[in-house]
Amino acid sequence: MLDVAGLNAFYGDSHILHAIDLAVGEGERVAVLGRNGAGKSTLLKSIMNAGPRAEGRISFGGRSLDRLASHRRTRLGLALVPEDRRIFTHLTVLENIAIARHAAAGRPVIAPEAIIERFDMLKPLVARHGGQLSGGQQQLLAVARALAGSPRLLLLDEPTEGLAPIIVEQMAHQIAAVCAETGSGLLLCEQNIWFARACTDSVTIIDTGRVVFKGDWASFDANADVAKRYLAV
């Protein structure tokens, strides 16, 4: 579904990503791990044409995304949940989700109420404004809003940062369940290994903008030195 080959990304003269190769199949769930500054967020933004200058090949559903604007990539079925969430603070939870349905662009639309039913923490908050939510509640809302566009591939950028462990656990179960139910693929950039493992089937590790490991979680566990070398603080 998503095919990234030889991706180099730049902010001005700074070369952030170096010849990244990455693939996510239909309905597949892939984690990208790495320390702060490894290039994880830049990878997602490059896929969405949302900031960095990207060189290389990015295709989605067999279609090249070269020079395609970010909103057009969204309408093809890509949905990015950025690290800063970008919740509409003046809209209610229900309105935040409803407004995102425009991204579906012909794909079957899920009613906002049906999406909220999948997220237990959001059910009592439907009439609350986005600016009145806690960080964890905003993060769940950002994920729920992305699903309103019926994405084929959900891109999550550091969703657990700053959240309490109980919220992280609930979010992991709900994201995995929603992806399984809807058939949406997942590309998750994260530092929390437990969360990444709970949500995905395979893992790619990036260090200083380069891929240093690819495999399933069993392969990751069999290479303990990989986590020590590239993920330990």
Please provide the DSSP assignment of the chain as one string. -EEEEEEEEEETTEEEEEEEEEEE-TT-EEEEE--TTSSHHHHHHHHHTSSSEEEEEEEETTEE-TT--HHHHHHHTEEEE-TT----TTSBHHHHHHHGGGGGTTSPPPPHHHHHHT-GGGGGGTTSBGGGS-HHHHHHHHHHHHHTT--SEEEEESTTTT--HHHHHHHHHHHHHHHHHH--EEEEEES-HHHHHHH-SEEEEEETTEEEEEEEHHHHHH-HHHHHHHT--
Looking at the chain, how many residues does it have? 233
pLDDT at 93 over 70: yes
pLDDT at 111 over 90: no
Question: Per-residue pLDDT averaged across 44-71, rounded?
Answer: 93
Question: Per-residue pLDDT averaged across 107-134, rounded?
Answer: 87
Q: Which of 145-159, 170-184, 198-212 has the highest mean pLDDT?
A: 198-212
- More confident call, 174 vs 220: 220
- Global pTM reads 0.91
- More confident call, 135 vs 20: 20
